[in-house]
């Protein structure tokens, strides 16, 4: 993630993480990189979430760290980069992502292709 930020990227960028806790951790890890970023998660109020989405869509926020749950039903237009920071824990989604990576010609370890559902 730091390499992408340091090398430069064309914003806006969405970064998906597994949980609210992971969103907070990543935000605190990257907040000093000099990028306008924010997080959206279930612990924020509806008004805070609306403000974050508005700021992201207007270009004030260049990187939005979010959980997949909170982005359902939101249509982000013009996003230039989407990153799955965490490998999904749902085996169906994990297999789909691994297969897309493999079809693109990139190396994917077999355990990702045959990923089984992780139990908490």
Q: Are residues 31 and 45 in the same domain?
A: yes
User: H or E segment at 65?
Assistant: strand 63-67
- Whether 39 shows a pLDDT value over 90: the answer reads yes
Q: pLDDT above 70 covers what percent of the chain?
A: 81
In degrees, rounded to 5, the angle at the alpha carbon of residue 15 between the alpha carbons of residues 2 and 67 is 135
Quote the pLDDT of residue 89: 62
Q: Quick one: tokens of 9?
A: 């990227």
CA angle 21, 22, 26 (to 5 degrees): 120
> Average pLDDT of 21-28?
93
CB 4 within 8 A of CB 82: no
Flag whether pLDDT at 93 surpasses 80. Answer: no
Lowest mean pLDDT among 36-40, 76-80, 109-113: 109-113
Clarify whether residues 68 and 55 are in a common domain. Answer: yes
5 and 35 Cβ atoms separated by less than 8 Å:
yes
Give the CATH number for residue 30.
3.40.50.300
pTM across the whole model: 0.73
**Strand 63-67 relative to strand 81-84, pairing:** unpaired
Q: What residues make up the domain containing 110?
A: 89-120
Residue 50 sits in the same domain as residue 68: yes
For position 88, what pLDDT does the model report? 62
Contact between 12 and 65 (Cβ < 8 Å): no
* Residue 28 CB contacts under 8 Å (≥ 6 apart), including other chains: none
Give the confidence band of 106 by pLDDT, cuts at 50, 70, 90: confident
Does 112 have pLDDT greater than 80?
no
Instruction: Indicate the pLDDT class of residue 120, thresholds 50, 70 and 90.
Output: very low
If asked whether residues 71 and 93 sit together in one domain, one would say no
The domain tally of the chain equals 2
């Amino acid at each position: 993630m730091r390499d992408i930020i340091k090398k430069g990227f064309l914003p806006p960028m969405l970064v998906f993480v597994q949980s609210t806790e992971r969103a907070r951790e990543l935000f605190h890890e990257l907040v000093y990189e000099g990028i306008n970023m924010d997080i959206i998660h279930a612990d924020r109020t509806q008004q805070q979430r609306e403000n974050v989405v508005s700021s992201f869509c207007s270009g004030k926020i260049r990187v939005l760290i979010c959980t997949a749950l909170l982005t359902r039903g939101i249509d982000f237009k013009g996003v230039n980069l989407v990153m799955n920071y965490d490998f999904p824990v749902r085996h169906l989604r994990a297999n789909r992502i691994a297969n897309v990576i493999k079809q693109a010609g990139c190396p994917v370890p077999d355990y990702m292709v045959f990923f089984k559902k992780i139990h908490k």
